[in-house]
Structures are given as structure tokens and as C-alpha cells.
Amino acid sequence: MKVGLLSFLLFFTGQVMAFNGIQIVGVSESKKSVIVDRGSLEGVKTGDKARFLIQKGIANPKITYVARGEAIKVHSNYSYWYLSYVENPFLIRRGSKLLMSLQSEVLEGSRRYNIKQKKSILSDGKSFAPFLLDRENIPRELVFSEKNYEPSEIIVDTYSKKEQDIETTNFDNWVRRKDPEFVEEYLDEYPLKHVNRANQVVPADKVRRNYKQAEFDGSLKESVDKVNGLRYGLAPMYHEQKKDSLGVREKITTDNYYQRLVQDKKGENFISPRAVAKIRKEGPGWSADMNDEQLRRFYNRSGIERELVRQKEAQGEKAGHELNFRYATGLNQNTTQADDNHQSTNYSLAIGYELMLIRTNPALKNFTVEMALERGINFYDLDGINGRFVEGTAGFAANWYFYNPPTSIRQYMFFLGVGTKRGSASVTSTSITKDYTYSVVALPVLRFGMKYRFKAGDTQDESVKIGMGVNFLFETESVRLSVEDALNDDIAPVITAQNVKFAVGMSFYF
């Protein structure tokens, strides 16, 4: 029951409905009264009204009405309910687990209905039916020349302010009494009329209760119908429902009213039909009668300026996935001249995936994050002797493209970045008795790079739909290596070094 109820509550996040899982602990023989395991500690009060339902299924839930009831006696942890209407009596049994929707919880926060009650006194024998045909309570027989009127130039409709939510009218009739009565003012007997009070006035509280009941039933019905109307159950709620303007970012929410209003406002900034008509009619010289300020204002207000920018961006930029392959060589040495062995500079190969953050938010158009795996051969001073380190690291970096965004095509792109690396290395040397393993941490890693993307990968004349480019990278990293094994040789347990590298590679976009 908890799992099923959880799925139901998750589905109705944001709805006004309130459902409580309950269990029937007692049933009368007539099934007109039940005892449920919810009492005053759970907010139940004497006189509360509720609908009882049952949910079947979790991935594909279906809701069925069971009964309508009213709390007649409430204890701390259980309560007695009278069921005024039972839809499915076979579900009313001891031990049944149901859903209960309290009217007081559903309508909590709603204001009290204002009711205005009027009385209309009709002549003797007159029916009130004609008065129901006209909202102003004017009988049709009193309306003459209904279509004989002259239309005015300006019609100003005024409406009186209504302070009431509900207006009721009670109809009574004048009735002539059979026996005349003595009237002291005239010192004689006269036949008199009086108001027939046989028609009882419906109390305002009863009208108010009926309206609240209708409001509660309507809210419940909409929610139940929505659940039962799900064609594919809850699964579509967790799939893509809408994409952004780039057509790449998935989300499971729909735009609210404000977001739709903003989008509609943006739509108004596109080229107006009047601007298009002017350009077509007047040809190449359509702007000859405008000065520079007027022409710029026309561009901005008509949407032409925005459309030109959009066309330029669509032609010269393309977001996608990017793979980088690089070969790097060291520009400095971290070895000692006291040992003639292992005097080379560092070199490595790396493969990385670069995510263009415009795919997550257009405001991050000039930023990317890159994850890379690197395998290399490095040489360090082991406190008087040189060692050859075979390193493997995983790195992460954030890049800022300050000259052209990373989505650019056939343009140079320059970027700055900062990152870190973590991995391990195995060291060998002619002067040590065994190989040792060092953990490697590089922090920070500062980078400056340049890219050129010469192939988009989506044009019709390209047989291989993969974009390509070249990239160049300068990196400087502060490296700390710490030995992981027990030392049997007189070498440094911790090594700190500064590496400067230059890398060249290829980039592939898809």
C-alpha cells in the first residue's frame, strides 16, 4: 500500500487533492457504517465528509470510487463513519486498504460563500415559472416592442458590483382570505390578503453546504479522470516532453504561464509582415528615405537585426559532441645532471570528451568542460638519481573561450582553462632494486589553447557526417608524486615538480 500510495502522491504533486491511506478495521452488517484507523491525531473531526476510493496498480494506476461518508464519532486513532452512498459494497470489508479524501483538506483555504437571499411576492394564483426565464425577473408578458429600438452610436454597459457569490430567490403568493376581517381604521369588515408562507425558504447554510459539496466532487472527479485517462501509465511522465530552442536539452517539465509569455514576446521580435512587404515593394532602395538612426531603429523594431544575427549564428556555429586526441611533449626537464640515465623530456597521449555547456544553458555559450584520460612517460629526479615514470591519469578541466565560442565553424577559437589530474605511476631506474608505485596528483593545471574547426559534418556534400578540426594546447601543472610502497632504496618518497607541455591534436565533432 505504501508503494502504491507513494506513486499516486508523486503523480499529483502540485494538485489540490489530498489522499490518505486508510484501513477498515470494522464493518457493520449493512455495510452502512465502518471504523477506519484514522482519528483526531490525523486531523479527522466529527462531521467531516470524505470520499473513499481504491487505487489498483502502480505503473498504470486506476482509481475506483468506493463510498461517500461522514464522520459521526472520532477518537484519537480511529473513527466511526456513516456511509451515505456506497458505489462498490464488495470493497467494504474488514482489512480493506483504501484511499480517503477529506473534504475539509481539499477545500482548505477556500473562502466562505457569500449568499444573498431575496423574496418575490406574486399575485394570487400566479406561477413563478415565467420569472425563471429572465435573469432580471421580468415576466415575458410585461415586455413589449422588444425589437423596436434604435441603435445608439456608443453603448456603455454598466454592471452593478455583486458582493454575493450565490443569489437565491424565494417565491410566495398573495392569498385572499375567505372570511372578511374588521378594520378599525375604517370601522368595517373588508376581505384582506396575506402572504402564503407555505413555501419554505432554503437556509443559507444548506445552500452553502451543497455548493461546497459540488466543488469537492468536481475537484475529485478531475483528478480521478486524469489518472484513469493515462494511456501509458506513469511512464510518459519520466520521458522527454519538451526541448529547448536548440533541440538538444531534454526536460520533463512544461513551460509555466510566465515562460510562455516570454516566448510569445520573443516571437514578436521576428521580422514583421509590414517590414517584409516594404522591402519587397520598394526593392534594393527600400531604405533610401531613412537616415542612419532611423534605419537602425527600423532594423531593431522590425526584427530584421535579430534575424540576421540568428542566420549568421546558424551558418557559422554548430553545437555537438567533441572528442579530442592529443600528443604532448614536455618543454622543461625535471631530472638531475648527476645521473646520466633517463635524461629525456616527458611525452604523452591523451583522449578527451569536451561538453559544450550551451547544450545545458544558452547563457554558458562560451564555456565547456573536458574529461580526459592520459598515458605518458615522464622523467623525475629521485633525490640524486633519475627515474622513468609510466603514468596514467584521469583529468577534468573547465574552459572559457574568450575569442569565438566553441561552436564556431571555420574560425579560430582561443580559450583559457583550469583543471586537475589524478592517477598513478610506476617508476624504474638503473639505480634501484625494484619498481615502485607512486600516486600522482596535479593541481592546479593551467591551460591555454587554440582550435580551428574546418568541417561542420552536417552539409549535404559530406559523405562522412563527422566534423573535424585541429587543436593546440599549452599546459603547466604542479605535480605531486607520493610513493605507495615500502621503500628499500634511498630515493625520495615525495616528489614535487612543475611540468610545462605543448600538445597538438585533432578534434572530431558529431
Residue at 218 is within a domain: no
Cβ within 8 Å of residue 281, ≥6 positions away? none
> 37 and 129: one domain?
no
> Which of 151, 186, 202 is the last residue in one of the domains?
202
Domain tally, the chain: 4
> 91 and 121: one domain?
no
pLDDT for 274:
62
The CATH number covering residue 31 comes to 2.40.10.340
Domain that holds residue 308: 273-316
Three cell numbers, residue 86: 456506497
Three cell numbers, residue 259: 515562460
What confidence tier does 197 reach under pLDDT thresholds 50, 70, 90?
low
> 177 and 194: one domain?
yes
Nearest to 72 by CA among 99, 94, 50, 100: 50
DSSP secondary-structure letter at 114? P
pLDDT in tens, 260-306: 666 666 555 555 566 666 666 666 666 666 676 766 666 666 665 56
> 43 and 123: one domain?
no
Query: Which sign does the torsion angle of CA 385, 390, 396, 397 carry?
Result: positive
Please tell me the pTM assigned to this model. Answer: 0.42
> 175 and 125: one domain?
yes
The CATH number covering residue 470 comes to 2.40.160
> 49 and 79: one domain?
yes
Cβ within 8 Å of residue 162, ≥6 positions away? none
> Which of 150, 178, 202 is the last residue in one of the domains?
202
The larger pLDDT score, comparing residue 416 to residue 381, is at 416
> 293 and 350: one domain?
no
- Give the H/E segment covering residue 508: strand 494-509
Q: Are 495 and 480 in contact (CB under 8 A)?
A: yes
The strand ranges marked E within 278-360 are: 321-330, 347-356
Give the largest CA-CA distance in the chain.
147
pLDDT for 458:
54
Residue at 392 is within a domain: yes
Residue type, 59: A
> Rounded to whole angstroms, how far apart are CA atoms 492 and 499?
18
Q: Are 68 and 52 in contact (CB under 8 A)?
A: yes
Residue at 232 is within a domain: no
> 27 and 132: one domain?
no
> 362 and 470: one domain?
yes
Residue at 342 is within a domain: yes
pLDDT for 348:
93
> Which of 286, 316, 346 is the last residue in one of the domains?
316
Least confident piece of the model among 163-172, 409-418, 478-487: 163-172
> 288 and 303: one domain?
yes
Cβ within 8 Å of residue 4, ≥6 positions away? 55, 57, 58, 61
**What angle, 0 to 180 degrees and rounded to 10, lies between the N-to-C axes of helices 292-302 and 304-316?**
70
